Amino acid sequence: MSLQLAIIGSGLAGLAAARILREHHEVTVYERGGPDAATGGQGICLFSNGIKILQTMGFDRDRAGAVPCHGYRTFDKDGKLVKDFPVDFKGKYGADTMAMKRSDFRDELLRLATAPSESWPDEGLVVFKDSSTIQADVVIVADGVHSRLRHRIVDSSYQPKKNGMTCYRVAISAEAVKAALGYLPESWDPRTADSRISTLMAGDGSRRTVTAYPLRNYDYMSFSCLFPGRQDRGNVLESWYADGDRQEMVDTFNDFSYPLRKILDIATEVKVWELQDLDPLPRWNKGRTILIGDAAHAMTPMQGQGSNMAVEDADSFRLLRPGLTREEVEGVLKQVDSIRRPRTARVLGDTRAMAKGISMDEMIANLDFNCGYNGVFEALKRME
């Protein structure tokens, strides 16, 4: 007997969960946006923990144009190398860490979720804006950081809080950069970049950093430009698609190295995000309904773990095994909650600590904790 599942939200968490669950159950994904929902074209980095799970779902790295990253390099704002920190992600954690265009990753998840394959929270009743309803055995709420449904599970005091930092995000093509500069910077040219994630740091106490990693086989580079946001900032749209003020980005980093300034200057699609996260929730599930993804554990991108946690959440639905009865659902959702909630709370805590500055040893310990995860069955065994 298969269960009827409703997933609210077709972002990264919702689609990954749909991919896992459609193997044995009937899954419908509900999305309030249009076909272009959640398709902002900037970069996203999936670490070994997320990639190990994605590989079990049939993830095709070539379709997603995924570029493996083999460590980190930090530079000063003039572009001088400060530290090289190679990491053998595959050797150490069992899978590569890879960077992708967010839109390519979401397209690949959509393919995986839909390709042919081998009061209401307690009852599984979902009421839509037009008053129509659906009844499901399980309702998965994956509607992102500004979840409208979170308050059905926990009280409405749990809201995301800004941490005072602003992030401008751009993805720029190699073609455009070659046209503007006449060459590709060393940290971008595949012959010299050594697959590192590069970070340029202002080093003057202003907390300005620019992190770059390659996308689509080096045809694009993602730049995340982080700085303390202005207090007098007006109304900023809080979505993946909020357009940023290119001039503000250029002005904020106008003392960085010439190639970087030039690159930011020619950026066409500039997105802005006010960094925010969510305090750990006291529970994720109520009856037949469960929160996942940013709706359950939004965190800032300092460790690049947000969507990796969403993929891990999706993997935990393997516990909704074939033949499970409607009556058994609540117990399984409680189990998912007890496995996932403590882990995401720890990753959130580490991410907050990282924003304040941590030592290299602490960073390695975080990588071990994050990338050492091997899926829900191993996590369950450890708990037992």
Ligand X SMILES: Cc1cc2nc3c(=O)[nH]c(=O)nc-3n(C[C@H](O)[C@H](O)[C@H](O)COP(=O)(O)OP(=O)(O)OC[C@H]3O[C@@H](n4cnc5c(N)ncnc54)[C@H](O)[C@@H]3O)c2cc1C
Q: What's the token pair of residue 206?
A: 């202003």
Q: Could you tell me the smallest distance in angstroms from the CB atom of residue 371 to ligand X? A: 12
DSSP-derived letter for residue 36 is T
CB nearer to ligand X: pick between 185 and 306 = 306
User: What's the min distance (Å) between Cβ of 67 and ligand X?
Assistant: 12
From CA 256, how far away is CA 139, in angstroms rounded? 48
**CA 14 to CA 29: how far, in whole Å?**
7
Q: Which is nearer to ligand X, 294 or 337 (CB)?
A: 294
Q: Give the shortest CB-306-to-ligand X separation in angstroms.
A: 2
Say how far apart CA 97 and CA 371 lie, in whole Å: 9
CB of 294 or CB of 315, closer to ligand X: 294
Q: Which residue number, 124 or 324, has a Cβ lying nearer to ligand X?
A: 124
Closest CB 305 distance from ligand X, rounded Å: 5
Q: Which is nearer to ligand X, 104 or 324 (CB)?
A: 104
Contact assessment for residue 186 and residue 200, using Cβ atoms and an 8 Å cutoff: no
The closest alpha carbon to 52, from 314, 298, 320, belongs to 314
Q: What is the binding site for ligand X (CB under 6 A)?
A: 8-14, 30-33, 37-38, 44-45, 142-144, 148, 167, 169, 224, 273, 293-295, 301, 304-308, 310
Q: How far apart are the C-alpha atoms of 346 and 87, rounded to whole Å?
A: 22
Pick between residue 214 and residue 324 the one whose CB is nearest to ligand X.
Answer: 214
Query: Least distance in Å: CB of 181 to ligand X?
Result: 25
Residues 282, 144: Cα–Cα separation, whole Å = 18
Q: How far is the first Cα of the chain from the last one, in angstroms, to the nearest whole number?
A: 28
CB of 190 to ligand X, least distance (A): 20
Residue nearest to ligand X as judged by C-beta position = 11
Q: Are 218 and 174 in contact (CB under 8 A)?
A: yes
**Six token digits for residue 23:** 């193997």
